[in-house]
């Protein structure tokens, strides 16, 4: 993806720094799920701003890896708040931070309630 990365100065025009917590807020367009988006340099393909920020400021993203947020702010593109992980790491992180909304049989509250009744 390195060839497609937007020019760093153009990318930086959509970043607000100096916020509380050290987040760098992406002020460009957002995806439906609230993540920052930007266009690839030549093709115009939509890229995730956090992935672009990681490649611009940290380094290449190995195949199959996701760029996760330590700050849980989807609009954040601070290289200090981004880290590499797998999809499983992301799920574990969601559970650890209480972002996951368990449903059905995997919902501990429901299992507890069922046990209590029987
Ligand atoms: Zn952040």
CA of 110 to the centre of ligand 1 (A): 34
CA of 20 to the centre of ligand 1 (A): 9
Say what the pLDDT of residue 68 is.
95
Say what the pLDDT of residue 41 is.
87
Say what the pLDDT of residue 117 is.
57
Domain enclosing residue 31, as ranges: 2-85
Say what the pLDDT of residue 26 is.
97
* 94 domain-assigned: no
Q: Are 82 and 67 in contact (CB under 8 A)?
A: yes
pTM confidence score: 0.77
* 104 domain-assigned: no
* 117 domain-assigned: no
Angle at 101 between CA 53 and CA 114, to 5 degrees: 160
Say what the pLDDT of residue 79 is.
96
CA of 83 to the centre of ligand 1 (A): 11
Say what the pLDDT of residue 102 is.
60
CA of 76 to the centre of ligand 1 (A): 5
For 21, residues 6+ apart whose C-beta sits below 8 A from its C-beta are 71, 73
For the range 16-24, what are the long-range contacts, defined as Cβ-Cβ under 8 Å and sequence gap of 24 or more?
A: 17/78, 21/71, 21/73, 22/71, 22/78, 22/80, 22/81, 23/71, 23/73, 23/75, 23/76, 23/78, 23/81, 24/53, 24/76, 24/77, 24/78, 24/81
Q: What is the pLDDT along the chain (118 residues), one digit of tens a residue?
A: 556 899 999 999 999 998 889 999 999 999 999 999 999 888 889 999 999 999 999 999 999 999 999 999 999 999 999 999 998 888 888 888 887 766 555 555 555 555 655 5
Longest dimension (CA), the chain: 63
CA of 25 to the centre of ligand 1 (A): 8
* 100 domain-assigned: no
* 43 domain-assigned: yes
Cα–Cα distance, 17 to 102 (Å, whole number): 34
CATH number of the domain enclosing 44 = 3.90.75
* 25 domain-assigned: yes
Cα–Cα distance, 70 to 86 (Å, whole number): 14
| Count of structural domains, the chain | 1
Structure tokens at 84: 């590499």
């Amino acid at each position: 993806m390195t060839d497609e990365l937007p020019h760093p100065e153009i990318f930086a025009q959509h970043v607000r720094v100096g916020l509380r917590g050290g987040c760098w807020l992406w002020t460009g367009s957002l995806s439906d799920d609230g993540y920052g988006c930007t266009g690839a340099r030549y093709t115009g393909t939509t890229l995730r701003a956090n992935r672009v920020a990681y490649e611009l400021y940290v380094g290449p993203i190995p195949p199959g890896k996701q760029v996760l947020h330590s700050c849980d702010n989807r609009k954040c593109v601070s290289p200090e708040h981004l880290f590499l992980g797998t999809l499983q790491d992301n799920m574990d992180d969601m559970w650890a931070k209480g972002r996951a909304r368990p449903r059905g049989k995997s919902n501990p509250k429901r299992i507890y309630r069922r046990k209590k009744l029987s």
